[in-house]
Structure 1
Amino acid sequence: MTDFHGTSREAVATLRQRVRGVTGTPAELVEAGQQLFSVVRLLDAQPVLRRALTDSTRTPDDRAALAGNLLGARIGAQALDLVTAAVRLSWPRTRQLIDALEEVGALVLVRASEEEGRLDDLEDALFRFARLLEREEGLQLALTDPRIPAENRATLVRELLAGKAPEGAVPLVEQAVVAPRGRSLTEALDAYAKLAAGWRERLVATVRTATPLSAADQDRLAGALRRQYGHDVHLNILVDPGVLGGLRVELGAEVIDGTIASRLDDARRRLAG
């Protein structure tokens, strides 16, 4: 997601706290998240409107009233409350408001999965779908082809994920498909997955292994990483036949390579040196 700075970072922190207070059933939260994404798409397409909603010469109350008049009949009370809270804040650049609303919409969908007790499933669904797209070029082309109507691409997402992911995951993937906002589809999905992990203040590690890890092995690895980094760590496990024994763990910019292939490469370098 966007890396906010200064005033905008403080504004986003305020909105995140407001999201933590949002209540409702998972279905209600999914609806609110979808509505916030619809506002993001509207503001992306309407530069005059987004300038009006971030105009520092207007009072915060004026901006909130404008948002209420324009959107009150289009979105529900939960989504509208978050939009009006956002436009009351100060945004040095108009597009920061849209970026913030996208993040808020995504976090409301994260909250929906949290209420379902399926936040781990949400992170896994986003990660796995992104990796599927990397393998299946035809599917990625179908979901990113601008000649195919956006609703048709969204329908394909719903069909692919039906019964396989938490409620909150589907609109996140739909948003990445129909409005990636300058990112590749996999970049957008990975950004949402990291946002979900950050909601619980934990890190995300991609683990490559030649064979599946047992639940006990995953728990031991997560515990070791937690002790090393001082945060809970969510593991995304990739079974990769190209890994010759051991594990390769990627956590942010850091790589912990304990594979046989890596050790052989080290040995060759020492012999050559």
Structure 2
Amino acid sequence: MNGASREALAAARERLDALTDNTSVDATKLAEELASVTALLDREVSLRRVLTDPAQSGESKAELVARLLGGQVGGETVDLVSGLVRSRWSQSRDLVDSAEELANTADLTAAQRGGSLDDVEDELFRFGRIVGSDKELRSALTSRTATASAKGELLRSLLGGKAQPVTERIIVRLVTQPRGRSLEAGLDSLSKLAAERRDRMVAVVTSAVPLSDRQKQRLGDALAKLYGRRMHLNLDVDPSVLGGISVRVGDEIINGTVAERLEEATRRMAG
């Protein structure tokens, strides 16, 4: 996403944050309604094109949204979607992507309010690892012949009562409405979005042996100092890891080629 779409999404994020700062707003309901709007926009190509047509005024598009959604969803959702269509978009698909992100962010806000955001982050990571290691499960969840209903039922049987409700909801949405993305890419995006709720970056840490609580704290502190942002650690154990530990932050892999950057982290962990 770039250009006008990036600016439009940034403005939409600010509006959502301002709205959900008010704890009287039901973030879970907001997420459900935004997810329904996302599905509508994804399904109705002609509507999506009208709502992103630069030749149409923002107000006329907002009025169309009010007529379509009024009485179907709450006023907060209508206002957020109206704000989206008043903006300019580089591509019509960017409108759908942004509505989906707002839905997921609203759900993550609900988790944050309930004190379960850390659990959701960890569950998303663990689910990704499970899918990556179980070819049969991945095949069932990405099959083009299986119905969305069947995939949803499978996920609920796997996650129901074992994961946070928010985790279950957003994974079910991802799998049943993939919208051309790979399952791995979708889970990675959700994990990053969850981390951003606390203004933290995500570091995937693979170690030869499990890290102690003290080591995890020291490594997190060292990485936060290195990158200038709070860091959430997704931990994995792999005895084959050379050097005992590997850290990936975004596209950057911290290893011996950047020994200077690891020096502080190594010193802290050893201490």
TM-score between the two structures when normalised by the length of structure 2: 0.87
Match of 1:21 in 2: 18
2:4 equivalent to 1:7: yes
Q: Deviations over 1:47-96 (max 9, x none)?
A: 11011112223222211111121122332333222111111111132111
Whole-angstrom distance in 2 between the partners of 1:166 and 1:140: 21
Match of 2:136 in 1: 138
Match of 2:269 in 1: none
Higher mean C-alpha deviation, range 245-254 or range 215-224 = 245-254
Q: Structure 1: which amino acid aligns with 2:95?
A: L
- Where do 5+ consecutive residues of structure 2 fail to align? 257-271
Aligned pairs for 1:1-273 (under 5 A) are: 4-23=1-20, 28-243=26-241, 246-257=244-255
Higher mean C-alpha deviation, range 207-216 or range 125-134 = 207-216
1:58 match: secondary structure: coil
Contact 1:176 1:188 (C-alpha < 8 Å) held by counterparts? yes
Whole-angstrom distance in 2 between the partners of 1:18 and 1:103: 13
Contact 1:112 1:167 (C-alpha < 8 Å) held by counterparts? no
Change (3 A) 1:148 1:217: same
Match of 2:263 in 1: none
Q: Structure 2: which amino acid aligns with 1:183?
A: R
Q: Structure 2: which amino acid aligns with 1:18?
A: R
Contact 1:34 1:171 (C-alpha < 8 Å) held by counterparts? no
- Where do 5+ consecutive residues of structure 1 fail to align? 259-273
Change (3 A) 1:12 1:65: same
The alpha carbon displacement at 1:143 in A equals: 1.3
Segments ≥4 residues shifted beyond 4 Å: 24-27
Q: Deviations over 1:172-193 (max 9, x none)?
A: 1012101112211111011111
The alpha carbon displacement at 1:208 in A equals: 0.7
Whole-angstrom distance in 1 between the partners of 2:253 and 2:24: 36
Q: Structure 2: which amino acid aligns with 1:105?
A: A
1:22 match: secondary structure: helix
Contact 1:40 1:102 (C-alpha < 8 Å) held by counterparts? yes
Q: Report how many residues are paired.
A: 255
The alpha carbon displacement at 1:30 in A equals: 2.2
Contact 1:67 1:84 (C-alpha < 8 Å) held by counterparts? yes
Q: Structure 1: which amino acid aligns with 2:9?
A: V
Contact 1:36 1:105 (C-alpha < 8 Å) held by counterparts? yes
The alpha carbon displacement at 1:25 in A equals: 6.6
Contact 2:201 2:230 (C-alpha < 8 Å) held by counterparts? yes
The alpha carbon displacement at 1:5 in A equals: 1.9
Q: Deviations over 1:200-232 (max 9, x none)?
A: 322111111122222221101101111111111
Contact 1:61 1:88 (C-alpha < 8 Å) held by counterparts? yes
Q: Structure 1: which amino acid aligns with 2:38?
A: V
Match of 1:265 in 2: none
Contact 2:54 2:88 (C-alpha < 8 Å) held by counterparts? yes
